[in-house]
Structure 1
Amino acid sequence: VLPAAKEAQCIPWRKNACCSHNTSQELHKDPSLLYNFNLDHCGKIEPACQRHFIQDNCLYECSPNLGPWIQEVNQSWRKERFLDVPLCKEDCQQWWEDCRTSYTCKSNWHKGWDWSSGSNKCPAGATCRTFETYFPTPAALCEGIWSRSYKLSNYNRGSGRCIQMWFDPAQGNPNEEVARFYALAMSAGAMPHGIGLLLLSLVPMLHLWLLS
């Protein structure tokens, strides 16, 4: 269970979190000991921009609703990742708007850094420019920065068809419904066409049953 003190941005997952108190604390530091990743590799980023990266990490570490998009990977620092999580349009747009005037030197933050100092630094030859230069559109940022961890969704917040990075926990976790929908849709897609359509038609009834 997450505390309500310094880890404010991870609080949306407080009632059902996959991360510990210590993890939540570390996610709010820059650089965090979890990754030794320095957001300020091209100078201090705007606080509004930093908030989105903290929220991104909270979602990654704490959310129990990303199962449909988890993929196994063979990397030294992790064994699984999520891929093509459908991020709600507004969440992606606001992330881009709040970061467009901050500076970075890379359009893919998953790889290619100079780690010789123990923390990430811009590789030789890389130039610090605004986010908007490296990420000219919201889709370029959300889909490119972590090698397709996210996919810009055509759906809006509250639609039940896209993952919200930001939500009010007092109103419940909207990502629970989204995860159920996609888990069932993915299962149906692996079945004969007729059975798949039948299962998809049962999604609304399944939702009501799970909430009852």
Structure 2
Amino acid sequence: MWAVLALLFALSSGALSLDKLNMCMDAKHHKIEPGPEGKLYSQCAPWRDNACCMANTTEGAHNDSSYLYNFNWEHCGPMSDQCKKHFIQDTCFYECSPHLGPWIQKADEGWRKQRILDVPLCKEDCESWWEDCKNDFTCKTNWHKGWDWSTGFNRCPKDSKCRNWTEVYPTPKSMCEQIWSNSYLYTTHIKSTGRCMQLWFTGENPNRKVAEYYIKNAQQRQTVAPTILLFLAATSFSGMMY
């Protein structure tokens, strides 16, 4: 019975709340709180009304070897423009989005204290990213770790070789989920469903409603679970009486 009650307490104390709806993660370039940033650069401009990034961060996001992290996208030679635009948009999404709260987790890393995990990406965004990069090259599956940083910028490790994109990432799912250590989750949801996060959008940010959906869905599950556990606890206690 005590084990059941302990589980009940853990579920009730861990519920997602709506204060996760509009927040910035604790990371290298993020603001403490989201707010308007009227001069966001180029592809980051859609977040200007409410952003976790500042203008200089968004300008850096558009550099080939961004000063943001000294990370070189072109570690296997020049990256095509159609592929690069997705990495710029991906950086804008990561740095600027104020609606990633449901997927923010603690991170034991020197350059950030929090990260995102399993953010559900819209099918169109993931598949167009993969399609536009399929003729490019890379030497690694996971771009978060395992690089040679001896020059101050990431280089391919000695035991690796540059391969065609589709050899490293056979499917859009493999690319979206593996390239940033499961920061993203490939979904079959399309944008019109309101059940997936959009890297690309114009006008009002659609991701607020998506985050709100996942928060409320989690709250409903965590409301039902304690009710079931209370019944189990009561049944267990009643059994002990006889």
| TM-score class, shorter | 0.7 to 0.9
| 1:22 pairs with 2:56 | yes
Q: How does 1:46-125 map to 2 (within 5 A)?
A: 46-125=80-159
| 1:192 pairs with 2:224 | yes
Q: Which has the higher contact order (CA 8 A, sep 6+)?
A: 2
Deviation at 1:30, TM superposition (A): 1.4
Q: How does 1:129-168 map to 2 (within 5 A)?
A: 129-168=163-202
Q: Which of the pair has more CA radius of gyration?
A: 2
**Paired position in structure 1 for 2:205:** 173
Matched residue type, 1:131: W
- Work out whether residues 188 and 195 of structure 1, in 8 Å CA contact, stay in contact via their aligned partners in 2: no
Measure, in 2, the Cα distance between the counterparts of 1:165 and 1:72.
Answer: 23
Q: Determine helix, strand or coil for the equivalent of 1:71.
A: strand
Q: How many residues align?
A: 192
Q: Determine helix, strand or coil for the equivalent of 2:108.
A: strand
- Work out whether residues 2 and 20 of structure 1, in 8 Å CA contact, stay in contact via their aligned partners in 2: no
Q: Which runs of 5+ in 2 are unaligned?
A: 1-36, 229-242
Deviation at 1:130, TM superposition (A): 1.1
Measure, in 2, the Cα distance between the counterparts of 1:66 and 1:156.
Answer: 18
Q: Determine helix, strand or coil for the equivalent of 1:94.
A: helix
Matched residue type, 2:39: P
Matched residue type, 2:218: M
RMSD over aligned Cα atoms: 1.5
Q: Determine helix, strand or coil for the equivalent of 2:125.
A: helix
Q: Determine helix, strand or coil for the equivalent of 1:173.
A: coil
Q: Determine helix, strand or coil for the equivalent of 1:190.
A: helix
- TM-score if structure 2 supplies the norm length? 0.77
Deviation at 1:60, TM superposition (A): 0.4
- Work out whether residues 12 and 167 of structure 1, in 8 Å CA contact, stay in contact via their aligned partners in 2: yes
Deviations 1:123-176 (CA, angstroms, capped at 9, x unpaired):
01211011111000000000000010000111101211000100112xx11111
Q: How does 1:8-19 map to 2 (within 5 A)?
A: 8-19=42-53
| 1:183 pairs with 2:219 | no
Q: Determine helix, strand or coil for the equivalent of 1:191.
A: helix
Measure, in 2, the Cα distance between the counterparts of 1:195 and 1:89.
Answer: 35
Matched residue type, 1:3: K
**Aligned-residue identity in percent:** 52
Measure, in 2, the Cα distance between the counterparts of 1:195 and 1:166.
Answer: 40
- TM-score if structure 1 supplies the norm length? 0.87
- Work out whether residues 87 and 150 of structure 1, in 8 Å CA contact, stay in contact via their aligned partners in 2: yes
Matched residue type, 1:178: V
Measure, in 2, the Cα distance between the counterparts of 1:191 and 1:79.
Answer: 29
Deviation at 1:192, TM superposition (A): 2.8
Deviations 1:13-44 (CA, angstroms, capped at 9, x unpaired):
01111100111111111111111000000000
Q: Determine helix, strand or coil for the equivalent of 2:72.
A: coil
